[in-house]
Amino acid sequence: MDAPCGSNAYLSLSIGVLLIIESLARATGHRWGRTIMTGAYSLFVLLMMWILPLFPASPKLGPVYHPIDHMVPLPFPLLLIVPAFALDLAWPLVANWKRWQQSMVGGFAFMAILIAVQWPMATFLMSPMARNWFFAPANYPFFAPPSSAAVRYVFLNLERSPSEFWINIALAFVFSAFSMWVGTVFGEWLKKLRR
């Protein structure tokens, strides 16, 4: 439940997000496939974030650190739609490149844009300005201890040194490119399937 800040979150995202986005975008063949998928994800999470708190609920198991009286949704969605839109926008420029070149450039661009937009957004979500119904950062579960970083609106630094941070960021870029390559291969295989 702690709010991670730093390279570990991006390293985790780099492993599978592009694999799913790219494989489905390739399989559908739609010009704006990546944007549509991440837009659907964003809309679904936002609707759940705004609708679920309207329904009453109460904790049935302990420990109960926060007396809640409504259902607790997922937090504000990741801004995956921004790098996905950038990839869709740039796709005509790289459509004739080799698969590994598309994966390398696309994976690196996706991760760079994601870091550029998500890091400031995460910082904003921890600020007092975001504490409203639209962003709803206070929707933490009843079992989140008061000492939790998310409950205290602070980042949890998981890296032991600056070098570990930069190594993880570099790995995130590499894994993102590899994940996109696997997604490309899998998506093209899915496109060939016929009933």
Instruction: Express each pLDDT in 124-142 by its tens digit.
Output: 988 889 888 899 887 888 8
List phi, psi (to 5°) of 132: -150, 180
Within the chain, strands assigned E span 4-5, 156-157
42-77 pLDDT per residue, tens: 999 999 999 998 999 888 877 888 788 888 888 899
Cβ atoms within 10 A of the Cβ of 8, count? 17
pTM comes to 0.85
Sequence-distant (6+) residues with CB within 8 A of 167 are 7
- Out of 12-16, 115-119, 158-162, 165-169, pick the least confident: 158-162
Identify whether 75 is preceded by a cis peptide bond (ω within 30 of 0): no
Tokens coding 85: 């839109």
Quick one: which H or E segment has residue 130?
none
Cβ density class 81-92: b for 16+ within 10 Å, e for less: bbbbbbbbeebe
Residue 6 above 60 pLDDT?
yes
